[in-house]
Amino acid sequence: MCLHSRPTAFAVIQEANLGTQSRKWENSAYGAIWSGQAVNLHLLYSILSSCCTQARTQCQHSRPAAKMAMSSILNIDDIKKALDAFKAADSFDHKKFFEMVGLKAKSAEDVKKAFHVLDADNSGFIEEEELKFVLKGFATNGRDLTDKETKAFLKAADKDGDGKIGVEEFAALVHE
């Protein structure tokens, strides 16, 4: 288990780097504000834990707390039905999925919000590594896409051929 999921992580970092005096913290995965100074907690976490340094993606614990849940954009029952419909490996169809979850009928602003939920590393793009876990972005019990499904999804969305999906490409794919 990584330190991000331990309640004592901030205490460890505080004690190791700033002493044990009482201080007011405003926490996030990327930093903390202490008396007006930014402290790079993500760097400290990377040193203390290897979970965030694997591949190019972050562990689930280091995602910003302010990140919106997909259930605040879409109906939870629609999400469950769509995930159930594509439960079997190699059954994923992005067009049908986006329609079933109700994303296709949503405003451009809501589609953009959904994109940012799926952009796990906050890079402004959904890379192939993130795309494999796209169903988990809709619900934590979503399955991983197979390599075949991931590559097909990327091929359908990546119109400029850069190997990743930008917000405009995602919106175009959703509204196909």
| Binding-site residues for Ca(2+) | 119, 121, 123, 125, 130, 158, 160, 162, 164, 169
Residue 87 to residue 67: CA distance in whole angstroms: 26
List, edge to edge, every strand of the sheet that includes 37-39.
26-27, 32-34, 37-39
Task: Answer for the pair 29, 86: CB distance below 8 angstroms, yes or no.
Answer: no
Going by the annotation, the residues of the binding site are 119, 121, 123, 125, 130, 158, 160, 162, 164, 169
- What does the CA dihedral 42, 45, 46, 48 come to, rounded to 10 degrees? 160
List b or e across 25-35, with b for residues whose CB sees 16 or more CB atoms inside 10 angstroms.
Answer: eeeebebbeee
Q: Dig out the tokens for 93 from the structure.
A: 């169809």
* Burial bucket for residue 90 (CB in 10 Å: 0-12, 13-18, 19+): exposed
Helix axes 147-157, 167-174, angle to 10 degrees: 100
